[in-house]
Amino acid sequence: MPIGSTNISFSDLRTEYIGGNNNSVSFSQLYRSGSNILDPTVGGLTNAAASVPTSGVISLDDFKNTARAFRKTYSSGATNQNASTVFGSDYAVDYPKQIIINSGVELGATSTSNEALQINTGLSGSISITNNGTITGAGGAAGAAGGDAFEADVACTLVNNGTIRSGGGGGGTGGSGSQTTTSGTTTYYVFVTSGSECPSLGFSGNSGTSYTNVGNYCPNPYTGYDGYSSGVFQYATYQTQGGETCRIQCYRKGQSTGSTSGGAGGSGSGYNQSAGGGSAGGANAGTGGSGGAFGNAGSSGSNGSVSNGSAGGAAGKSIRGSSFVTLTNSGTITGPQA
C-alpha cells in the first residue's frame, strides 16, 4: 500500500516496491528509474514516487507519501476518457496505475455511446481510480436511454469521494390525435377504393371516385373500424353472391380524416445538458414527456385520441461492469448499476 508520511520503515519499502519476503532491502534497489521503481514513458503521466531520486543521496524521507504506480491526475475537465488511451503503451506494462480526479473537476460523456470514464481491456497490473470530483454520463435524446458515467471491463478499485451520475432518459413521444374540424353539415361521401362488384351497389367501381349519394352505406352516426371515434370515417365492405367485394370508405363532409403527430419528448439530464420538457402535439395529440433527471428514466408521453404516448427512455448506468469493481463509496452515486 502507499507509503505514509511518518514512521517509514525498510519493511514498508520492501512491501511497496520490491515485494516478497526478502530479509534485507537496500537503498541501491530503490532508485527511481531502476528495475523496481519504473518511470512512465507516456506524456501526461507522472510517477507516484516522483520524489525518489534516480541516483546519489537517498533517504527514507524521499519516500514520504509515495507509491509504486504510474499516475494520471485530472486537474481540469475532460470528456470521453478511455484508460488505455490515457496510459498509452504503459497500459500494457505490468505496473500499478492510478487515476485521480481532483475536487471541482468533471469528466463527462458527450454522447450516449461513450462513457465519461472507461477502464477497458488490455490492462496489465492493477488500476485504482479515486474520484474527488464528478463523473457524468450523457443525457438521452427524446425517447432514448441516457448514457453511462463509468464503465469497467477489467478488475479495478474505485474510491468515490465525489459524485458519479448517469444520464437521464429522454421523454417519450406523445400519442397521435385525430383532426376534428367540421363544416357543420351532416352530408356524407363514399369513396370507392376497390372491388369489381361496386357497380351493383350503385357505384362505378373506379378507385378514387367520390359520391354524395350514399344511401344506407354510411349511417349517421357511425364508428370506424380503424379506431377513430364516431363521425370521422369508417371502412365498410359489401359482398355479393358472386363472391366479389366492394370496399368503400365513408367520410363526413368538411372533416379531415388524417391524424396529428404527438409532441416530442424532452432530453434527459446529462453532461452540460439540463432535462427538457416535452413539446405539445397537434390537435387532440398528446404532449411529449419530460426528460429524466440524472439517473432517472424519462417520463412517458401523454395519450392522444388515436394512440397512446410512448414510454420514456431508461436512465444510463452510473457504474457499468460493477462485477469488476471493488467500490468504496463515501460520496454520491446517482443512477442504476449493472
For residue 50, being part of any structural domain is answered with no
What size, in residues, is the chain? 338
> Which pLDDT belongs to residue 107?
98
- What residue type is assigned to position 253 of the chain? K
- What residue type is assigned to position 108 of the chain? G
For residue 193, being part of any structural domain is answered with yes
For residue 49, being part of any structural domain is answered with no
For residue 47, being part of any structural domain is answered with no
Q: What is the pLDDT of residues 16-55, one digit of tens each?
A: 999 877 668 899 999 999 999 999 999 999 999 999 999 9
> Which pLDDT belongs to residue 128?
98
Q: Which domain holds residue 36?
A: 1-42+56-66
> Which pLDDT belongs to residue 259?
79
Q: How many domains does the chain have?
A: 3
| Whether residues 173 and 86 fall in one domain | yes
Which of these, 164, 167, 93, lies nearest to 124 by C-alpha position?
93
| Whether residues 161 and 271 fall in one domain | yes
Q: What is the pLDDT of residues 127-161, one digit of tens each?
A: 999 999 999 999 999 999 999 999 999 999 999 99
Report phi then psi at 217, rounded to 5: -75, -20
| Whether residues 12 and 109 fall in one domain | no
Give the pairing type, strands 245-252 and 156-160: unpaired
| Whether residues 167 and 241 fall in one domain | no
SS (H, E, C) 103-166: CCCEEECCCCCCCCEEECCCCCCCEEEEECCEEECCCCCCCCCCCCCEEECCCEEEEECCEEEC
For residue 216, being part of any structural domain is answered with yes
| Whether residues 86 and 145 fall in one domain | yes
**Pairwise CA distance, residues 54 & 264, whole Å:** 62
Q: Enter the pTM of the model.
A: 0.79
| Whether residues 153 and 265 fall in one domain | yes
| Whether residues 217 and 173 fall in one domain | no
Sign for the pseudo-dihedral over CA of 171, 175, 180, 181: positive
| Whether residues 96 and 3 fall in one domain | no
Task: For residue 96, say if its preceding peptide bond is cis, omega within 30 degrees of 0.
Answer: no
**Pairwise CA distance, residues 99 & 110, whole Å:** 20
Q: What is the pLDDT of residues 266-302, one digit of tens each?
A: 999 999 999 999 999 998 899 999 999 999 999 999 9
> Which pLDDT belongs to residue 195?
58
The whole-chain average pLDDT of the chain stands at 85
| Whether residues 167 and 268 fall in one domain | yes
> Which pLDDT belongs to residue 225?
37
Residue with cell 451520475: 165
Contact 49, 66 (CB under 8 A): yes
